[in-house]
């Protein structure tokens, strides 16, 4: 059995927090560039140009891509022969706090959410999601998701007969209502099935799959493409100024569910999709 020390992961978490805060992932910039070519609105093309320019400036100066540097989620997937020792929650929090100081990241996390809403001052605690795998590879992923994108995300418990058409209609309705406030062009993560608590988790995790990595399931792949097309028909466009590119990609995760339910959650993300996964197998 391979032992992974929580303290050894802290440095990687810290560096990933800084990297994703200042550098737009290659797959996202390439998707923006490709969709720019099919955007029919001149204003929309200009918005995408500004987004790409902003990313270049942020990377060259080492400054955040967006003033909302987001809520950090740490994803740890352990191979079947791996175990983490030590306090991973404390190690992750310390890593995020150090990254916040080093990168001058805006502190956005508040405690006592229904009361004083006191800012913790260092973006802690992060969310830590640990999953066990039957595979041979252990991975560490970090995502930073802004408040506007989170506000636009939704969960629904659909009737079991709603099917894919019902899921599709739900997501399009969510984007039509709140998507303009989430800084389009958007990337959509969809969690279908599982349970009331599992669908949102899958929706957010789905965003970790790069836009240039297709689903191995042809049906899921076709539905992701259909969802992107349907959302783009809304005409919201880049920067919500109107246009043909409202969404540059969708990713779907699904799981078995109770026969009486069809849980579905959509995790809406702005064009600044900040996430990265690395191998920690060693």
Residue 42's pLDDT is: 98
Task: Encode pLDDT of 203-230 as tens digits.
Answer: 999 999 999 999 999 999 999 999 999 9
Cα 210 to the chain's mean position, in Å?
10
CA distance 212 to 4: 30
Residue 282 confidence (pLDDT) above 80: no
Domains of the chain, CATH where assigned: 1-23+65-144 (3.30.360), 24-60+146-282 (no CATH)
Residues making up the chain, counted from first to last = 282
Task: Encode pLDDT of 114-162 as tens digits.
Answer: 999 999 999 999 999 999 999 999 999 999 999 999 999 999 999 999 9
CA distance 16 to 105: 13
Q: At what angle do helices 42-61 and 26-36 cross, to 10 degrees?
A: 160
Cα 182 to the chain's mean position, in Å?
13
Q: What is the DSSP string of 174-233?
A: HHHHHGGGG-SSEEEEEEEEE-TTHHHHHHHHHTTS-TTS--SSHHHHHHHHHHHHHHHT
For residues 44 and 168, the answer to whether their CB atoms sit within 8 Å is: no
Residue 268 CA: distances (Å) to CA of 124, 153, 171: 22, 5, 10
1: confidence class by pLDDT, cuts 50, 70, 90: confident
Q: Which residues pair with 144 in a beta bridge?
A: 72, 274
Task: Encode pLDDT of 23-79 as tens digits.
Answer: 999 999 999 999 999 999 999 999 999 999 999 999 999 999 999 999 999 999 999
Query: Is-above-0.85 flag for pTM?
Result: yes
Q: Which of 166, 187, 157, 193 is nearest to 175 (CA)?
A: 187
Gyration radius of the chain's alpha carbons: 19
List the structure tokens of 29: 């910039």
3-state DSSP: the chain helix, strand, coil percent, rounded to 5? 40, 25, 30
CA distance 279 to 4: 12
For residues 76 and 88, the answer to whether their CB atoms sit within 8 Å is: yes
Phi then psi for residue 21, to 5 deg, are -75, -25
Mean pLDDT of the residues in the chain:
97
Cα torsion 229, 231, 234, 240: sign: negative
List the structure tokens of 149: 């994108």
CA distance 73 to 144: 6
Phi then psi for residue 120, to 5 deg, are -70, -15
């Amino acid at each position: 059995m391979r032992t992974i020390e929580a303290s050894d992961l802290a440095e990687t978490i810290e560096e990933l927090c800084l990297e994703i805060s200042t550098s737009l992932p290659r797959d996202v910039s390439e998707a923006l560039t490709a969709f720019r070519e099919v955007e029919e609105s001149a204003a929309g093309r200009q918005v995408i140009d500004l987004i790409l320019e902003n990313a270049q400036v942020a990377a060259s100066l080492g400054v955040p891509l967006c003033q909302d540097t987001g809520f950090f989620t740490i994803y740890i997937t352990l191979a079947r022969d791996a175990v983490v020792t030590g306090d991973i929650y404390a190690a992750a929090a310390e890593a995020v706090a150090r990254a916040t100081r080093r990168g001058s990241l805006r502190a956005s996390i508040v405690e006592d959410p229904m009361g004083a809403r006191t800012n913790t001052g260092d973006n802690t605690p992060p969310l830590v999601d640990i999953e066990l795998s039957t595979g041979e590879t252990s991975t560490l992923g970090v995502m930073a998701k802004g408040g506007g994108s989170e506000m636009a995300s939704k969960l629904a418990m659909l009737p079991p007969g709603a099917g894919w058409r019902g899921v599709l209609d739900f997501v399009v309705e969510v984007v039509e209502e709140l998507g303009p406030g989430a800084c389009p062009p958007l990337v959509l993560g969809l969690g279908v099935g599982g349970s009331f608590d599992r669908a949102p988790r899958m929706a957010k995790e789905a965003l970790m799959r790069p836009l240039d990595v297709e689903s191995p399931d042809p049906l899921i792949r076709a539905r992701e493409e259909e969802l992107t097309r349907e959302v783009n028909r809304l005409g919201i466009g880049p920067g919500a100024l109107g246009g043909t590119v409202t969404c540059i990609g969708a990713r779907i995760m699904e799981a078995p569910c109770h026969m009486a339910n069809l849980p579905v959650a959509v995790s809406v993300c702005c064009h600044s999709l900040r996430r990265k996964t690395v191998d920690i197998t060693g």
